[in-house]
């Protein structure tokens, strides 16, 4: 059994306006899959690492119990975090460096998506479907089931829940071209290994806080042009599903770069 934590970065409601695309050019959806047998050790290690930093504004024992450290604040150096870059690095690494976890990322390039399709699907819905497809493949490989917890988007919580229920009920599908047979075919995928999807507040889930760090640093890495030395990326990359053959699997970008 796996617990799978999901979070996003780059969400805006009116995503296809020129202003929105300029301000938030990408939509990132992350997932962090951890075996249930390893959850306790992962949580304990994070809290211990943070406790050793003696942060004046944070109670390490309360992380996930009503308290959180926001990845955006660490990434941007907001407020008191901007005074000590080394401290920010240690906090970031405390969250991202989880050898027991498998990471998944879906990135939607909003400008290319809008340009390539006459009626482009909302990036958050599109990314959710792509993510579930990859989670299903991963769980099948592991011969395991997964319980998914999503960081709720308070602006769109009802729509989030309805779409998650639709995915579990209807699965996914599409039209593809077979190079072997030289024909077009229709495919369907049921998410039978995903038992349930629930929505929660990251203040009350350390797993969701890990997913927040993965989503945020992946977003900043993509926005910066994918530099291999972007802070935190070296901890995300080797944990992507199917690394080093992760492109299209652990990391899915849509539409593909031309």
What average pLDDT score do residues 200-211 get? 97
- DSSP classification of residue 156: S
pLDDT at 145 over 70: yes
| Under 8 Å between Cβ of 250 and 104 | yes
Q: How buried is 69 (Cβ within 10 angstroms: 0-12 exposed, 13-18 middle, 19+ buried)?
A: buried
pLDDT at 38 over 90: yes
What average pLDDT score do residues 99-120 get? 94
| Domains contained in the chain, CATH given | 2-254 (3.30.420.10)
pLDDT given for residue 182 in this prediction: 63
What average pLDDT score do residues 70-79 get? 93
Better-predicted residue by pLDDT, 172 or 202 = 202
pLDDT given for residue 157 in this prediction: 76
Average pLDDT across the chain, whole number: 92
pLDDT given for residue 188 in this prediction: 72
- Report the first-to-last Cα separation within the chain, whole angstroms: 38
What average pLDDT score do residues 78-95 get? 92
pLDDT given for residue 207 in this prediction: 98
| Under 8 Å between Cβ of 63 and 69 | yes
pLDDT given for residue 172 in this prediction: 87
What average pLDDT score do residues 105-125 get? 92
What average pLDDT score do residues 24-32 get? 97
């Amino acid at each position: 059994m796996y617990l799978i934590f999901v979070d996003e970065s780059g969400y805006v409601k009116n995503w296809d306006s020129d202003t929105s695309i300029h301000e938030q050019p990408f939509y990132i959806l992350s997932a962090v899959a951890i075996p249930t047998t390893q959850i306790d050790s992962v949580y304990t290690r994070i809290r211990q690492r943070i406790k050793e930093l003696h942060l004046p504004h944070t109670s390490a024992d309360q992380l996930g119990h009503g308290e959180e450290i926001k990845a955006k604040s660490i990434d941007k150096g907001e407020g008191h975090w901007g005074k000590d870059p080394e401290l920010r690095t240690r906090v970031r690494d405390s969250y991202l460096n989880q050898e027991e976890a498998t990471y998944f990322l879906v990135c939607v390039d909003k400008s290319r998506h809008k340009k390539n399709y006459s009626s482009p699907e909302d990036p958050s819905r599109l990314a959710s479907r792509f993510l579930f497809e990859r989670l299903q493949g991963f769980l099948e490989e592991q011969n395991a089931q997964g319980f998914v917890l999503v960081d709720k988007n308070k602006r769109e919580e009802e729509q989030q829940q309805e779409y998650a229920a639709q995915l579990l009920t209807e699965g996914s599908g599409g039209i593809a071209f077979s190079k072997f047979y030289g024909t077009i075919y229709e495919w369907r995928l049921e998410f039978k290994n995903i038992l349930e999807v629930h929505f929660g507040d990251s203040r009350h889930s350390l797993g969701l806080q890990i997913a927040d760090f993965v989503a945020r640093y992946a977003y900043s890495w993509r926005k910066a042009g994918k530099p291999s030395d972007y802070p935190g990326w070296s901890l995300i990359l080797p944990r992507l599903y199917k690394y080093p053959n992760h492109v299209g699997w652990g990391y899915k970008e849509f539409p593909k770069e031309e």
